[in-house]
Structure 1
């Protein structure tokens, strides 16, 4: 059963009296979105698509806080985020000069990703059945806030150290020697442990399935700092991984009825344009600038999720 969104609760709609909001909500019961909501969602999708193409992430970490701020929190936003991330990753890959060696690492990691997404989605399903919607909201938004804050602070701290001539050591998991191994000519280390990469994928996939992340938010800094890839190379590899995770997560969440097709279509309509523009901008910016922008983006999104969790923003 598909869950329909509530009326938008952004700054403009806070001025609309409750009776009018109730009339807008009635449109949802007939399976339609009001024109204002379609436009608002498409514009949000365009901005999220820009972020997707710019940083190589699916934008799933933005979808749930943004949709919750506009329409109130629903578990359907998690599956909708996966669908939107799939579309943005596809557009981003088509807009880039894709090298086939970018497939080697994602395919090895995909074993852990597939298992992790299934496990995370199963945990979410148990939470949905055994707890009230408010408790599910606290689990999702709380996880968002902690993850986004930690990764955002790490990114900004690393950029600051690099600019002061004290860069962090990269590629430290490449030194973990657990057979079997795979060769990666494009990496700093000539070979890496398949076991370590699989467990890394398992952790990313679990978070993706639990809170609707496409995995890019964690995978991008993970590939840069843990694996040792360059920023632009990590963006390209992350897009492939995001596509694999989002494709599986979309199917699983749709099967469990956690996708709002109307909002997904509106997001993709705007996001396709934004993703293409973001991919072109990414190729022109330096790696340090991209990492700094990524860190500030994560902290801003964490603040939005924390505000919703603390009921500062109505939902």
Structure 2
């Protein structure tokens, strides 16, 4: 009976993450770890992070396929950012596994509060096509992409999150590419970071594969529903983002307070 309830909770939690991703285009992965801990009932912070990394990588890969088909992925910039980020994600995952679970939860909760605040800030897209990574721009762009990719990857691996809300500003800030291209290109890194973090945690036996599969299933269902709802509620998208940001901030406060009381 308990196993059945946990299965339902895992699918429902994945559905919440998928719904938010489909509805407002990001931020849902930050809820994966708290949902796995407090709703699904995963007893270990580290197992929750490893399991969420698998789900995040799978969801990002599915979304990446759609963006690539429409030509909204700047592959040279995206791959450079992702490769440097993989190194950061591997290092971050190792640091995360070495940290005490309660302290990791406190930092995670604080990160949620910061990201919730960043979500309500309007995204500024470039007014032109931005810079592309080629022979003439390598001296200017390559160091920036490598540094930004490594830093974002480090945070992604440490906390087991996709990092899309950090990657998109990083790509726009370094290349001035349009927002739609930055979102599509960011999914290359989200997929790569998620796989790197998941691989590191899986090697240490810190991934619950059954729950990861159920979470991904729920995410696919929720994502489909979110896309449908996004078309119907397009005019209220900014309001929905504010509401979701508030949920992220409140959850972050709860996670931090709970960890401090342990």
TM-score by structure 1 length? Answer: 0.68
Deviations 1:249-268 (A, max 9, x none): 22111111111112111101
1:243 corresponds to = 191
Pairing 1:18-167 to 2, within 5 Å after superposition: 24=2, 34-57=3-26, 59-70=28-39, 71=41, 72-96=43-67, 97-99=69-71, 101-127=73-99, 135-139=100-104, 141-158=105-122
**Alpha carbons of 1:157 and 1:110: their partners in 2 closer, same or farther (altered >3 Å)?**
closer
**Alpha carbons of 1:190 and 1:225: their partners in 2 closer, same or farther (altered >3 Å)?**
same
2:258 corresponds to = 311
1:17 corresponds to = none
Structure-2 separation of matches of 1:94 and 1:212: 22
TM-score by structure 2 length? Answer: 0.80
1:182 corresponds to = 133
**Alpha carbons of 1:150 and 1:42: their partners in 2 closer, same or farther (altered >3 Å)?**
same
2:179 corresponds to = 231
Does structure 1 conserve the Cα–Cα contact (< 8 Å) formed by 2:73 and 2:184? Answer: no
> What's the C-alpha RMSD, in Å, of the aligned pairs?
3.6
Does structure 2 conserve the Cα–Cα contact (< 8 Å) formed by 1:45 and 1:270? Answer: yes
Q: Which runs of 4+ in 1 moved over 4 A?
A: 54-58, 168-171, 189-192, 224-227, 279-286, 288-296, 312-315
Alignment partner of 2:122: what SS? Answer: helix
**Alpha carbons of 1:157 and 1:251: their partners in 2 closer, same or farther (altered >3 Å)?**
closer
Structure 1 residue 226: Cα displacement: 5.8
Does structure 1 conserve the Cα–Cα contact (< 8 Å) formed by 2:141 and 2:175? Answer: no
Which of the pair has more CA radius of gyration?
A: 1
Alignment partner of 2:45: what SS? Answer: coil
Pairing 1:165-204 to 2, within 5 Å after superposition: 182-183=133-134, 193-204=141-152
**Alpha carbons of 1:100 and 1:152: their partners in 2 closer, same or farther (altered >3 Å)?**
closer
Structure-1 separation of matches of 2:160 and 2:245: 15
Unaligned runs of 5+ in 1: 1-22, 25-33, 128-134, 160-167, 176-180
Structure 1 residue 170: Cα displacement: 6.1
Unaligned runs of 5+ in 2: none
Does structure 2 conserve the Cα–Cα contact (< 8 Å) formed by 1:155 and 1:292? Answer: no
Structure-2 separation of matches of 1:66 and 1:202: 27
Alignment partner of 1:149: what SS? Answer: helix
Deviations 1:179-210 (A, max 9, x none): xx9249xxxx9995111111111111111111
**Alpha carbons of 1:208 and 1:312: their partners in 2 closer, same or farther (altered >3 Å)?**
closer
Does structure 2 conserve the Cα–Cα contact (< 8 Å) formed by 1:93 and 1:239? Answer: yes
**Alpha carbons of 1:223 and 1:312: their partners in 2 closer, same or farther (altered >3 Å)?**
same
Structure holding more helix per residue: 2
Structure 1 residue 100: Cα displacement: 7.0
